[in-house]
Amino acid sequence: MPPPVKKAGCPVIQVVARAADALFVLARHPDGLTLAALAQIMDLPRSTVQRIVKTLEESNLVIAASAKSGFRLGPALTLLADSVRPFDLVKMLQPSLVGLAGETGETVELSILSHGSAVVVAQIHGIHPLRVISAVGSSLPLHATAIGKAMLAALPSRDLEALRHQIVLNPLTKNTQTTWDGLEQEFASIRETQVAYDREENIVGICSLGMALRGHDGEMAAVSILSPTRRFKADHENLAKALRNCCESFQRRM
């Protein structure tokens, strides 16, 4: 599930953020939630949630589920979803992503660079019972993920310098790189090998490797393979080879 929208200081914007939060919560409960349950999950007064839901209901973004279940997502969301212009890069890369996941058995993701974050736009699940799963639409930190570091290392120096002022190098685990000097050393290695690594820098127990690529319109993106740490340590060389073959083959076709 995409992360809840951050609350802003402006009351009007806060209302929009809370409405978005309500939609995300209901997306996790397709059978519906009562106002009381929704208020408890959102940690808001029931009266506040009631006003938000009433407004969403007027636009059919939310509808009554039943007398007992309260409210669920409405049909207007289908219209909005159908109107979203598909990412051409996702369509073009889908067969390659499926092939890479099948070859490695691990979860494969495609992300794009957007406003200082890596946004997941496609994911193919691995075949192992224990596998890594995140959410399409979620935002990942650039400095603590293989997919993010791969894109940073591939940026022109002017664009990278501009992002340095936007990105906060928060320590997410004890392994997170939190200095630009340290990251620049990694970038030099990534530019040489084309492959970036995340060794439990974002989430303990999960490692990944990523490689940047450019879409037809020049958009920056990256493909990553995610794996539990134990499997990753044993197989990271084969994973890197498979990732490199996949991305290089795609770039040649482009």
pLDDT digits (tens, 9 = 90+) for 140-195: 999 999 999 999 999 999 989 988 888 999 999 999 999 999 999 999 999 999 99
**Mean model confidence pLDDT for the chain:** 86
CA 245 to CA 254: how far, in whole Å?
14
Q: What is the pLDDT of residue 12?
A: 60
Distance CA 14, CA 174 (A): 34
* Surface-to-core class of residue 31, CB atoms within 10 Å of its CB (0-12 exposed, 13-18 middle, 19+ buried): exposed
CATH class, 88-253 region: alpha beta
One fold for 11-83 and 88-253? no
pLDDT value of residue 4: 45
**In the predicted model, is pLDDT for residue 238 greater than 90?**
yes
Arithmetic mean of pLDDT, 203-231: 89
pLDDT in tens, 2-30: 444 444 445 567 888 899 999 989 988 88
Least Cα distance to 213 among 62, 92, 123 occurs for 92
pLDDT band per the 50, 70, 90 thresholds, residue 81 = confident
pLDDT value at residue 30 = 85
Tokens representing 125 are 């699940």
Residue with tokens 């939609």: 23
| Residue 67 scores a pLDDT above 80 | no
SS3 per residue for the chain: CCCCCCCCCCHHHHHHHHHHHHHHHHHCCCCCECHHHHHHHHCCCHHHHHHHHHHHHHCCCEEEEECCCEEEECCHHHHHHHHCCCCHHHHHHHHHHHHHHHHHCCEEEEEEEECCEEEEEEEECCCCCCCCCCCCCCEEECCCCHHHHHHHHHCCHHHHHHHHCCCCCCCCCCCCCCCHHHHHHHHHHHHHHCCEEEECCCCCCEEEEEEEEECCCCCEEEEEEEEEHHHHHHHHHHHHHHHHHHHHHHHHHC
Q: What is the pLDDT of residue 127?
A: 83
> Which range has the worst mean pLDDT, 12-26, 182-196, 197-211, 236-250?
12-26
Closest CA to 153 of 192, 120, 118, 208: 192
For the chain, the structural domain boundaries read 11-83, 88-253
* Mean pLDDT value across residues 27-41: 89
Q: Are 160 and 142 in contact (CB under 8 A)?
A: no
Q: Are 115 and 100 in contact (CB under 8 A)?
A: no
CATH number of 11-83: 1.10.10.10
